Amino acid sequence: MNESNMTLSNGARPKPWNNPKIRMFVFQTLALGTVFWFGWTLFHNTLSNMESRGISTGFGFLDETAGFGIIMTLIPYDSTMTYGRTFFVGLLNTLLVSAMGVVAATIIGFVVGIARLSSNWLIAKLALVYIETIRNIPLLLQIFFWYFAVLQTLPSPRQSLDVADMFFLSNRGLYFPTASAEPGFGWVMAALIAGIAAAVFVHRWAKRRQLRTGQLFPALRVGTLLILALPLLMFMLVGRPLIWEMPSLTGFNFTGGASILPELAALWIALSLYTASFIAEIVRSGILAVDRGQTEAASALGLKSSFTLRLVIIPQAMRVIIPPLTSQYLNLVKNSSLATAIAYPDLVSVFMGTTLNQTGQAVEVVAITMAVYLTISLIISGLMNIYNRAVALQER
What is the binding site for other proteins (CB under 8 A)? 44-45, 48-56, 67-71, 79-80, 148, 152, 156, 171-172, 250-253, 255, 262-263, 340-343, 345, 349-350, 353-354, 356-360, 362
Taking the least distance from each CB to other proteins, the nearer of 31 and 149 is 149
CB of 21 to other proteins, least distance (A): 36
Taking the least distance from each CB to other proteins, the nearer of 70 and 199 is 70
Q: Of 360, 103, 129, 156, whose CA–CA distance to 262 is shortest?
A: 156
Query: What is d(CA 193, CA 311) in angstroms, rounded to the nearest whole number?
Result: 29
Amino acid at 192: L
Q: Are 176 and 257 in contact (CB under 8 A)?
A: yes
Taking the least distance from each CB to other proteins, the nearer of 98 and 354 is 354
CB of 202 to other proteins, least distance (A): 47
Task: Kindly give, in sequence order, each residue whose CB lies less than 8 Å from that of residue 108, ignoring residues fewer than 6 positions away.
Answer: 272, 273, 276, 279, 280
Q: Which helix (H) or strand (E) holds 29?
A: helix 20-52
Taking the least distance from each CB to other proteins, the nearer of 315 and 360 is 360
CB of 261 to other proteins, least distance (A): 9
Q: Are 57 and 47 in contact (CB under 8 A)?
A: yes
Beta partners for 260? Answer: 174
CB of 48 to other proteins, least distance (A): 4
CB of 99 to other proteins, least distance (A): 22
CB of 258 to other proteins, least distance (A): 14
Euclidean distance between the first and final Cα of the chain, in Å?
A: 43
Taking the least distance from each CB to other proteins, the nearer of 54 and 239 is 54
Determine the 3-state secondary structure of 117 from DSSP.
Answer: coil
Taking the least distance from each CB to other proteins, the nearer of 20 and 251 is 251
What single-letter DSSP state applies at residue 128?
H
φ, ψ (nearest 5 deg) of residue 251: 65, -120
- For residue 93, how many C-alpha atoms fall within 13 Å in the half-sphere facing its CB? 32
